[in-house]
Structure 1
């Protein structure tokens, strides 16, 4: 879980109690944008990994698994 996911949960609970502030709304927009990028990157790597497996390119598949692990830990795809 990334810090943006924690912040999304926090803003969700704040919003349940009443309207969020302008600053919280900005945080919400940022977290949603980063979450969308994270999901896109994760799905892209997973799909490429399926392709690597289908073509029996085990080195590429291992590289993609490493990238996915870094993405899950840092929220960014490494430029390896």
Structure 2
């Protein structure tokens, strides 16, 4: 069984933060961009893997695609 990576100690600052000035629309647009990057990364990993590892990354890609569709739809609703 694979080991789980422990969460960083609570005293460490977060790796990624945002600001109060970031608008809802900009946050959704950024999330959409991040999801596109995640999809490209997963697709590249799929091409390098076999077996259960490949199947797991394909599952992650499917989840990223579903989230991307929902975020993109949210952006469309904001523009309407």
Q: TM-score, normalised by structure 1?
A: 0.47
Q: Where is the helix percentage greater, Structure 1 or Structure 2? A: 1
Higher relative contact order (CA 8 A, sep 6+): 2
TM-score (normalizing by structure 2): 0.47
